[in-house]
Amino acid sequence: MRLRRHPVTSAATNGPHSEAGPAAPTDPGRLTRRSLLVNSAGLAVVPMLAEATASAPVPAGNVSTPSTPAPPPRPLTLAGGRGHGVGDPRGSDIAVTTKRSTQARFGLMFPQLEPFAPDDDLLVALARQVIDPRPPLDDVSMSNDGFDNPYIPAGYTYLGQFIDHDMTRDPTPLPQQRVDPHALLNFDTPFFDLGSVYGRGPTSDPQLYDPDYPGMLRLGRSQGGPVDLPRAADGTAYIGDPRNDENLIIAQLQIAFIRLHNQFVAAGNGFAAAQRLTRWHYQWVIVHDFLPHILGSGVVEQMLRSGPHGTIAVDNRFYHPDDSRRPMMPIEYSVAAYRFGHSMIRAEYEMHESTTLPVFGPDGGDLRGSRPLPGNAWADWNYFYEIPDVEAPDDRNMTRTIDTQLSLPLSNLPPTVVAHIDGAILSLAERNLLRGKRLGLPAGQDVARAMGIPPIPNQRLGLADPRWGGRAPLWFYVLKEAELGGGCQLGPVGGRIVAEVILGLLARDRNSYFNAERPWSPASTPFSMGDLLVMAGAV
């Protein structure tokens, strides 16, 4: 793997009790199945590496200490489920509660298509078939099951989760939610504005901001452990979206974005300028790093156009929200296509050298969040992303392939994700399939035809039961389409839906870098998530 060399800035401190962990030592002579897999993949795909931009170190005062009492918390009211991909966001039932052509917080990308409603027993049986029975590994380097995706480091799974939470965050006060349960009138935009980081701003959500350093966001540290989110005495995080504390990987991504903002403030920018720069670097990573990893760079390049006055336009063929100022989110995207990430989740992750933790474990020694960050769970980001200037470990976590096999822990979601009450469905696959039916999704083949893409017949999808009627659930179709293409990226139906919505939203956001008064890009390009982490001082 080819790496570029850059000087490491003073912002990147080492050690588990600093704001990042040390990079793992690498033995260049050691060859493993993983290193051979990744290196052979590099012959076919050029790794997406990027230049780093140095920034000033953040003053130590942005980490809460006993001498800096935390301001009293204010409630941040949020709707939706308890965890990613588990609850139904308010308004996602619009296709079954109103006309299929209605658009509000959610809507249909293809309202002319009829809903697909196969028998529940078919969906439940299919859910059982899509679970990989292998238990979590004790060490990621032992992975040899053929499900590792050599093109996508595992950090992109959680960047995708972070992006989803940013889009679906619902800060509408509870009284308005009760009056408008289907989100026809009161709802926030799905724009990429980092609401989980900034909340409602310094005035409305002061608990997110550092009282000792104006313009900076708060960080915390518990009992001399790693830098953490600021927390109340009971472990609850002061955070703009509680879902970004549901596992210890996404919680540390949240910390990285907080630190990036603080770096911009420390470099002399005012709050508004630092906020804009943080958002634009994040949006750039979505367009130029996340989407190319998931879809391939060609899909993104084909959709981008030069707009008026130097702006960026998007060739949206299927995503046409009625209101560009408050565009709807298609349920074909949120309930099916974007849930491709569920198949990418590993059963375990190596957090740093010689420390591997399961996603869910019986004894609590796992990656479940909503608690202070344990000392052994800090993330060495070199195990999750390609980091400029740092040699890759030979056992970097890679995503699982995008296919119809979900890792075993997702078949039995813990109480921190789903309440274990009578009748609760604990299998994520079963929840996804039944939800797609309940919310009125069209079939995968029908969507393909509407997009002008030859549909894949059920025989190739592995759905032999004639009761399917020659059609397949859209979520399953998207995963199988990717699987039949090799499992390394989304296929033409799933990929186009994801690209249409994400790029379309950026084009409609007047405050995105797509619509900047002058063309904008990071100071040094190409620019990837690894560069963002270096810039934030999180490596």
| DSSP states of 78-102 | --S-SSTTTS--TTTTHHHHS-TT-
Tell me the C-alpha distance between 383 and 386, whole Å.
8
Residue 54 domain flag:
no
Mean pLDDT of 76-99: 66
Which one has a higher pLDDT value, 53 or 353?
353
CB 282 within 8 A of CB 191: no
Tell me the C-alpha distance between 203 and 258, whole Å.
17
Mean pLDDT of 451-474: 98
> Pseudo-torsion of CA 406, 341, 124, 447, nearest 10°?
-130
Tell me the C-alpha distance between 307 and 64, whole Å.
45
Report pLDDT for 87.
62
Mean pLDDT of 83-103: 83
Which one has a higher pLDDT value, 146 or 34?
146
User: Is the pLDDT score of 99 beyond 50?
Assistant: yes
Report pLDDT for 146.
82
CB 40 within 8 A of CB 245: no
Tell me the C-alpha distance between 237 and 258, whole Å.
13
Tell me the C-alpha distance between 236 and 25, whole Å.
35
CB 438 within 8 A of CB 411: no
Which one has a higher pLDDT value, 61 or 273?
273
Residue 230 domain flag:
yes
Mean pLDDT of 366-382: 94
Report pLDDT for 217.
98
CB 225 within 8 A of CB 539: no
Dig out the tokens for 401 from the structure.
């392939």
Mean pLDDT of 51-58: 36
Domain that holds residue 424: 93-536
User: Is the pLDDT score of 365 beyond 60?
Assistant: yes
User: Residue 395, exposed/middle/buried by CB under 10 A (0-12, 13-18, 19+)?
Assistant: buried
Residue 78 domain flag:
no
Q: What is the DSSP letter of 237?
A: B
* Number of structural domains in the chain: 1
Residue 43 domain flag:
no
CA 327 to chain centre: 20
Tell me the C-alpha distance between 388 and 383, whole Å.
13
Dig out the tokens for 38 from the structure.
């990744």
Per-residue confidence at 56, pLDDT binned at 50, 70, 90? very low
DSSP-derived 3-state class of residue 451: coil
Mean pLDDT of 523-539: 96
> Pseudo-torsion of CA 490, 492, 494, 495, nearest 10°?
60
Tell me the C-alpha distance between 258 and 538, whole Å.
10
Residue 45 domain flag:
no
Mean pLDDT of 497-501: 98
Report pLDDT for 96.
95
Mean pLDDT of 138-143: 82
Residue 174 domain flag:
yes
Tell me the C-alpha distance between 387 and 391, whole Å.
8
Tell me the C-alpha distance between 502 and 311, whole Å.
16
Which percentage of the chain shows pLDDT scores above 70?
Answer: 84
Angle, to 10 degrees, between the axis of helix 248-266 and the axis of helix 155-168? Answer: 80
Report pLDDT for 249.
98
Specify the CATH number for the domain of residue 325: 1.10.640.10
Per-residue confidence at 191, pLDDT binned at 50, 70, 90? very high
Tell me the C-alpha distance between 91 and 334, whole Å.
12
User: Is the pLDDT score of 16 beyond 80?
Assistant: no
Dig out the tokens for 229 from the structure.
């989110």
DSSP-derived 3-state class of residue 153: strand
Report pLDDT for 364.
75
Choose from 186-190, 296-300, 472-476 the range with maximum mean pLDDT: 472-476
User: Is the pLDDT score of 224 beyond 80?
Assistant: no
Report pLDDT for 52.
31
Report pLDDT for 21.
35
Q: What is the mean pLDDT of the chain?
A: 85
User: Is the pLDDT score of 340 beyond 80?
Assistant: yes
Mean pLDDT of 19-35: 35
Per-residue confidence at 31, pLDDT binned at 50, 70, 90? very low
Residue 246 domain flag:
yes
Mean pLDDT of 287-298: 95
Tell me the C-alpha distance between 71 and 206, whole Å.
7
Residue 471 domain flag:
yes
User: Is the pLDDT score of 42 beyond 50?
Assistant: no
Mean pLDDT of 407-420: 89
Report pLDDT for 197.
97
Sign of CA dihedral 290, 294, 297, 300: negative
